[in-house]
Amino acid sequence: MGNLTVKPLGYALGAEVTGVDLRQPLEPMLRTAINEAWLRHLVLVFPGQDLSTTEQIAFARHFGELDKHAFQPRYTHPDHREILLVTNKLIGGKPSDTRNTGRNWHTDLAFTPRPAKGALLRCKEKPLVGGDTMFTNLYLAYETLTPRMQAFIEDMEAIHDVSLVKGIEQRDPEKVAELKRLNPPVAHRVVQVHPETGRKSLMVGQRIRGILGLSDGESAALLGFLNEHAQSPEFIYRHRWSVHDLVMWDNRCTQHIALPDFDQTQPRLMLRCSLEGEVIGRLLEPGKARVDDREALMQQLAAIA
The catalytic residues are 106, 108, 256, 272
CB atoms near residue 293 (< 10 Å): 12
Non-local (6+) Cβ contacts of 144 within 8 A are 229
Using CB under 5 A as the binding criterion, the count of chain residues that bind Fe ion stands at 2
Shortest spacing between CB 119 and Fe ion, in angstroms: 7
Residue closer to Fe ion, measured from CB, 72 or 219 = 72
Q: Which is nearer to Fe ion, 205 or 210 (CB)?
A: 205
Q: How far is the CB of 108 from Fe ion (least distance, A)?
A: 4
Nearer to Fe ion, 108 or 161 (CB): 108
Residue 115 in contact with Fe ion, rule: CB under 5 A: no
Q: Closest-CB residue for Fe ion?
A: 102
Q: How many angstroms separate the most distant Cα atoms in the chain?
A: 56
Closer residue to Fe ion (CB): 23 or 64? 64
Q: Which residues pair with 109 in a beta bridge?
A: none
- Cβ(206)–Cβ(111) under 8 Å? no
**Which range, of 5-13, 17-25, 103-111, 269-277, touches Fe ion by CB under 5 A?**
103-111
Least Å from the CB of residue 197 to Fe ion: 21
Q: Which residues of 195-224 are buried (b: 16+ CB within 10 A; e: fewer)?
A: eeeeebbbbbbbbbbbbeeeeeeebeebbe
Whichever of 102 and 113 has its CB closer to Fe ion, that residue is 102
Least separation in angstroms between residue 224's CB and Fe ion is 22
Among residues 102, 131, 205, 210, the one that binds Fe ion under rule CB under 5 A: 102
Pick the piece of the chain touching Fe ion (CB under 5 A) from 25-33, 104-112, 180-188, 207-215. 104-112
Residue range at the interface with Fe ion (CB under 5 A); choices 98-106, 203-211, 219-227, 246-254: 98-106
Interface residue with Fe ion among 67, 97, 108, 250 (CB under 5 A) is 108
Amino acid at 192: Q
User: What would the x/- binding string for Fe ion be over residues 236 to 255, using CB under 5 A?
Assistant: --------------------
Binding residues (CB under 5 A) for Fe ion: these are: 102, 108
